[in-house]
């Protein structure tokens, strides 16, 4: 049985033991996905879609409670699945690298990486709170950068894999109260474009996803009907569709909006 990464709490240790006992052994014949921000919203929907398709997955979260909640739900829904959990803050570079090392220690390969971790503060550049840009960059960009760099050597050695970066409509144009958030999403798109160019020769795909308004808890108090938004399953279905293409085809950029347009 694999040991948890040193330095994380006893609650996390319990999670690891439970996961590895309940689930099927890891084998090279399986496929493996790493999904950040995988305990809620779009990330959780993507995790569940890959679980439905028989993948083993690794997720992380800042709190043991979120990890335990997903594990309890998925143990019932996907009783033969292998789910690895890691407690850490991907806004902290050291935690991000530890998560990557944990994945490499416990998975024989990484077939899919979904960089979905993100946070949002509304504001205007001229008067938003000091530190907004730095915090948003740490979570929205640096987590993807450092986790990708940690996992890439093994992916390049195998000459296969697919990296999905969850950008945003805010990666495409400015909008009211976008502030520093929009800057970080533009940067994530730039990261995706440069990464794709570098990895073409290694047969590793990179897809930038740019979803518009999608119904999650963050929109529940908006006063707008759920029907005005896309579903998280719309996003997860499209991720799966992009992954399912032949090895010679790559969807470089996906732009998705509600049928009635942006909010």
Instruction: Write the CATH number for 142.
Output: 3.40.50.720
- Quick one: pLDDT at residue 121? 80
> pLDDT by residue (tens digit) across 235-244?
999 999 999 9
- Quick one: pLDDT at residue 118? 92
**Is residue 4 situated within a structural domain?**
no
Range of the domain at 111: 29-256
Give kind and range of the element (H or E) at residue 172. none
- Quick one: pLDDT at residue 39? 96
**Is residue 24 situated within a structural domain?**
no
Question: What parts of the chain have a pLDDT lower than 50?
Answer: 1-28
Phi and psi at residue 257, to the nearest 5° = -135, 155
32 counts as catalytic: no
**Is residue 12 situated within a structural domain?**
no
- Quick one: pLDDT at residue 152? 98
pTM as predicted: 0.87
Cα–Cα distances in Å, from 21 out to 17, 83, 190? Answer: 6, 11, 41
- Quick one: pLDDT at residue 13? 38
Overall number of domains in the chain: 1
Q: Which of 32, 142, 145, 181 is catalytic?
A: 181
**Is residue 174 situated within a structural domain?**
yes
Q: Retrieve residue 111's tokens.
A: 């077939």
**Is residue 9 situated within a structural domain?**
no
**Is residue 36 situated within a structural domain?**
yes
**Is residue 8 situated within a structural domain?**
no
Look at residues 184, 188, 234 and name the one whose alpha carbon lies nearest to residue 211. Answer: 234
- Quick one: pLDDT at residue 16? 40
Q: Are 242 and 46 in contact (CB under 8 A)?
A: no
**Is residue 16 situated within a structural domain?**
no
Q: Angle, nearest 10°, between helix axes 41-52 and 64-77?
A: 30
- Quick one: pLDDT at residue 122? 83
């Amino acid at each position: 049985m694999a040991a948890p990464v040193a330095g994380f709490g006893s609650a996390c240790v319990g999670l690891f033991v439970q996961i590895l006992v309940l689930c099927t052994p890891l084998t090279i014949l399986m496929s493996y996905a790493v999904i950040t921000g995988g305990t809620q919203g779009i990330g959780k929907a993507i995790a569940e879609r890959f679980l439905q398709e028989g993948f083993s997955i690794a997720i992380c979260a800042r709190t043991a409670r979120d990890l335990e909640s997903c594990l309890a739900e998925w143990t019932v829904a996907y009783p033969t699945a292998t789910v690895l959990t890691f407690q850490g803050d991907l806004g902290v570079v050291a935690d991000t690298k530890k998560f990557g090392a944990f994945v490499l220690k416990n998975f024989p390969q990484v077939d899919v990486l979904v960089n979905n971790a993100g946070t949002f503060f509304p504001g205007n550049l001229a008067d938003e709170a000091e530190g907004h840009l730095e915090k948003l960059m740490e979570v929205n960009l640096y987590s993807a950068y450092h986790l990708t760099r940690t996992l890439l050597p093994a992916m390049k050695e195998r000459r296969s894999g697919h990296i999905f970066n969850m950008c945003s409509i805010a990666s495409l144009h400015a909008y009211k109260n976008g502030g520093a958030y929009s800057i970080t999403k533009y940067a994530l798109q730039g990261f995706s474009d440069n990464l794709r160019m570098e990895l073409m020769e290694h047969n590793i795909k990179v897809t930038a996803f740019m979803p518009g308004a999608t119904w999650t808890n963050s929109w529940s108090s908006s006063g707008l009907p759920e029907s005005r938004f896309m579903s998280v399953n719309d996003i997860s279905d499209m991720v799966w569709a992009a992954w399912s293409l032949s090895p010679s085809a790559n969807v470089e950029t996906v732009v998705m909006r509600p049928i009635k347009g942006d909010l």
